[in-house]
Every structure is written in C-alpha cells, then in structure tokens.
Amino acid sequence: MWANLTPLLLEATLQTLYMVAVSGVLGTAFGLPLGVFLATSQRGELLSAPLVNKVLGLVVNATRSVPFIILVVAIIPFTRALAGTSIGTTAAIVPLTVAAIPFIARLVENAIREVDSGLIEAARAMGATPFQIIRKVLIPEALPGIALGLTLALVSLIGYSAMVGAVGGEGLGDLGIRYGYQRFMPEVMAAVVVILVVLVQLVQSVGEGIARAVDRRAPRNRGR
C-alpha cells in the first residue's frame, strides 16, 4: 500500500510547498509595503495621510475578519478571472494570497511600531527624509519582528493550504480528505498530519534563526 501512496504523498507535499511559497512571496510583496504605510501614515507621522490610513485599515480588518474557508468560496469569480479556473493548485494561490496580504500587513505594522521613536526623532534631526528614515531606520530596526511575523504568516499559510483541499484545491489537505476521510484510510491522514507538523517546525526554526541573525540588539559572541 505505502509503495503506491508514497508518490502521492510526495506530490501532495510539493504542491503544498508550491502554494505556500508562491502565496508567501506574493503576500509579502504586497503586504510589506502596505504594513509600512499603515505604520507611518497616521496623523502627524512620517507619511501623514490619516484618511487613506483609515480606509486601508478598514479594508484590512474586513478581509481579516472573514473566515478563510468562506473567503475561498466568496472570491471564486475573482479566482477564476485570474487563474482561469477555481480548482487546482494554481487557483488555490489566489485566496491564499488574498488572505496573506492583510495578515502580513498587520504583522509588519506592529513590528515597525515597536521601533523606538527616539531613533526616528534623531534621524529627523539629522535631516533625513521620510523615505530615508523608513529605509535606513525603521525597516532595519524592525527586521527581527518582521522576520518573526513572516514566519507566523507562513505557518498560517501551511494550515490554510490544507483547508483549500476541502474546496477543490490540491496538496496535503486534498490527499488527507480523499484518502484519509473519504476512503477510510486513517494511516494516510496520520501521514499527512505528520508531514504538516514537520513543515511547520522547519519553517518556525528557520524563521527564528533568521530573526536572531538580523537582530541588532542580540549579543554577538566574539572570539578572543
């Protein structure tokens, strides 16, 4: 039995990694600048635009408040328009990305807001422009928090990628449902769960390692 299921598990794992990787990259590409803007655009801040900040904040909150499984179904027309279909691995990337963008944006916003305001005032006193402050002060200082936030986002995407198996997506979730649930093969479901746990642990470990590596405040061991 396992000789036949092993290729299926491998294929499903690769499909899950593909969905998570692409949606993670796209989510970061859109969510990172959005989070930076949300963190710096309230009244009196570097990119003061309170009205735009409020509107974008409402959109982000509204998107985050929709349960993922409902979001997948609600944006099927949008998914079909972009991917040409609403089922399959590529189609699943659309709702995964839509869910990732506001989540990442809020994580990045929180990381940037934790930066000491004294650093911003010091940079302003030295004549730095808002974009220079963002690029050379805020983002470098917030990198550990951003790295941990992106790690959390990837872990969430792994869980979401399993959910899309219930609505026509592929990957480990689909395999677990088709074989583990519908065909009453608990050993397949157990294998899927183990693989998902291993993926989460790997992502978490790598993310924490990156966060420590970019943390300017962390003590460095120096050779003597």
Output the pLDDT for position 36: 95
Q: Which CATH number fits the domain that encloses residue 185?
A: 1.10.3720.10
Tell how far CA 134 is from the center of its chain: 21
Residue 3: inside a domain:
no
Token pair recorded at residue 199: 């993926």
Domain count, the chain: 1
The two structure tokens encoding residue 196:
């998902």
Residue 219 included in any domain = no
Residue 64 belongs to domain spanning: 8-214
pLDDT tens digits, one per residue of 163-185: 887 777 788 888 888 877 777 77
Residues 6+ apart with CB under 8 A from 82: 94
155 assigned to some structural domain: yes
Distance set, CA 217 to CA 38, 114, 145, 212 (Å) = 25, 13, 12, 9
For residue 166 the two structure tokens come to 């219930």
Give the pLDDT mean for 214-219. 70
Mean local confidence (pLDDT), 140-168 = 90
Residue 217 has pLDDT above 80, yes or no: no
How many CB atoms within 10 Å of residue 157? 25
pLDDT digit string, tens, across residues 81-120? 998 888 889 999 999 999 999 999 999 999 999 998 888 8
Quote the percentage of the chain above a pLDDT of 90: 62
In-domain check, residue 137:
yes
Residue 177 pLDDT = 83
Residue 12 lies in a domain: yes
Q: How confident is the model at residue 222 (pLDDT cuts 50, 70, 90)?
A: very low
Closest residue by Cα to residue 102 from 162, 34, 47: 34
pLDDT of residue 88: 87
pLDDT above 70 (res 220): no
Query: What tokens does 79 get?
Result: 């998914």
Cα(100)–Cα(203) distance, integer angstroms: 16
Instruction: Flag whether 135 is in a domain.
Output: yes
In a domain, 224, yes or no: no
Tens of pLDDT, residues 28-42: 999 999 999 999 999
